[in-house]
Amino acid sequence: MNVNAAVAAAAAIAGLCTGVIAMLAFRWSERDQARPTRSSLHTDAVLPPGVDTVLSVLRSSAVVLDEADTVVKASSAAYALGLVRGGKLAVEPMLQMARDTRRDGEIRQVELDLPRRGTGRGDALAVSARVAPLGSRLVLLLVEDLTEARRIEAVRRDFVANVSHELKTPVGALSLLSEAVMDAAEDPEAVNRFAGRMQIEATRLTNLVQELIDLSRVQNDDPLEDSEPVRVDELVAEAIDRCRHQAGTKQITMAAGGTADLHVWGNRGQLAAALGNLVENAVNYSPARTRVGIAARHITAPGGDLIEIAVTDQGIGISEKDRERIFERFYRVDPARSRATGGTGLGLAIVKHVAASHGGEVTVWSAEGQGSTFTLRLPEAGSVRDRDRRGPRRIDDTFISEHLPTPEVLP
């Protein structure tokens, strides 16, 4: 009996000890959970009142760092730019700025070029970073993406430089020719020859100024203000009339056809200028005794029905590297040939802006030695009956011969 009593007493004591240990462990766990940890400090609660709301509406990327350089708050734009990774600020120059500002409280600003991560592109990301103290121990970093602004500024500089160069050429030629006329005052034949050259340079200068005005107008004007249904047949006829003399001089056959009675919606003057530029380019860059075709058709697109106007030539074609840049202002595939034909390098830029402002697009298919096809796609105006929805995407000689049984041959 004494042995059994001793065993029972020992078991009771062991159970009591186990209960006490369990209760102490539970209390210790509760206290540990209630104690603020390092991670729990990195929440919105540590930010001064109202800061979180302000950061959420800022256009700049925002990052808030604590005294240990840990990210307390970061906007989604900061993650998108790759500024924050793994809860840390990933750009060392910005991190050093934050440390310096935390030390002396001075606001700092710097512009940096950061590599683009995960895009495979070699160009840099231009940003402006500004660091300021936020409260007693936090630091606020604001980063603004300047990449697009830098690109626009570069385009503006190139445009001004190109305009200056293009204007300088005919102006310089006119100055030299005028001096030559003065020196040859006693030679009527030389005066007539120099005067003819002066007229050519004056015409080039006039065309350049006019196309600069046209480009400025299509960039600034809203085509919807003067929009109306425009017959495609009338646009094609006007483009052919515009180039009739040049085509006749080179014995180029101009053929117009495709689906009849199509309408597009937009500014008639801008649309006529765009299509005229495409046809004029086709004539200027085509060899003698070849053919230029203009054909229109209706196509169905997910965003709405479109009218497709294709201008096809049998010219020299465009290389792949040049096709990516031909719609840039003043870009020329062959500068010497462009100057010989009187081109300004602005025609295709005008076409691109007109197409974009009308909710359409312009594309090009080309192969060196095989010719080119420029396709202008514009929103359809209203409903048109009996549309022909068949036909290839690229209008080639077979398509033109099928749709143009009686082409117009210029004398």
List the CATH number of the domain containing 115: 3.30.450.20
CATH of the domain at 214: 1.10.287.130
Do 326 and 240 belong to one domain? yes
Do 139 and 152 belong to one domain? no
Do 255 and 361 belong to one domain? yes
Residue 335 belongs to some domain of the structure: yes
Q: Is the pTM of this model over 0.75?
A: no
Residue 123 belongs to some domain of the structure: yes
Interatomic CA distance for residues 202 and 189, integer angstroms: 20
Q: Which of 337, 329, 311 is nearest to 243 (CA)?
A: 311
Residues, the chain: 411
Do 279 and 370 belong to one domain? yes
Query: pLDDT 10s per residue in the chain (411 long)?
Result: 454 555 456 556 655 655 555 555 545 544 544 444 333 334 444 677 777 777 777 778 889 998 888 888 888 888 888 888 888 888 889 999 999 998 888 999 988 888 776 544 456 788 899 999 987 788 899 998 888 888 888 777 777 777 777 778 788 888 888 888 888 888 888 888 888 888 888 888 887 787 777 777 776 666 666 788 999 999 999 999 989 988 998 999 999 988 888 999 888 888 998 999 999 989 988 899 999 999 999 998 887 889 999 999 998 888 887 887 888 777 766 655 555 555 567 788 889 988 988 889 999 999 888 899 999 999 998 633 333 333 433 434 443 344 333 333 333
Structural domain of 248: 224-403
Do 122 and 237 belong to one domain? no
Phi, psi of 75 (to 5 degrees): -80, 165
CATH of the domain at 368: 3.30.565.10
Do 334 and 294 belong to one domain? yes
Interatomic CA distance for residues 359 and 312, integer angstroms: 23
Do 266 and 333 belong to one domain? yes
Do 206 and 123 belong to one domain? no
Do 159 and 232 belong to one domain? no
Do 189 and 261 belong to one domain? no
Interatomic CA distance for residues 152 and 162, integer angstroms: 15
Q: Which of 99, 118, 145 is the last residue of a domain?
A: 145
Do 229 and 186 belong to one domain? no
Question: Rg of the Cα trace of the chain?
Answer: 36
The total domain count for the chain is: 3
3-state secondary structure of 74: strand
Sheet arrangement for strand 291-299? 253-258, 291-299, 306-312, 371-379, 361-367
